[in-house]
Amino acid sequence: MLQSLASSLGREVKTNYHLTNQPQGGPDSGWIVLDYGDVVVHLFSPKERDYYLLEDLWSEGNVVLRLM
């Protein structure tokens, strides 16, 4: 599922914004990072999301989009 999300997002960003990147991590690690410069996308498995709790780390930041 993570790889599918990363691939789909990568295609959309390339088509609409002409940006590419080399995803870091992979589905086996439970975490994929897509870095587009001003925007960094973190895709987590449910297990890794519960472990890292980035929302708590960045609690004062603004959530732009949350997909569950």
Please give the pLDDT value at position 13: 95
pLDDT confidence of residue 65:
80
Q: Mean pLDDT, to the nearest integer, of 36-54?
A: 90
Strand-pair partners of 60: none
Question: Which residues, at least 6 apart from 34, have a Cβ–Cβ distance to it below 8 Å?
Answer: 6, 9, 10, 13, 21, 23, 24, 40, 41, 43
Each residue's pLDDT tens digit, 8-34: 999 999 999 999 999 999 889 999 999
Domains defined for the chain, CATH in brackets: 2-57 (3.30.460.10)
pLDDT surpassing 80 at residue 68: no
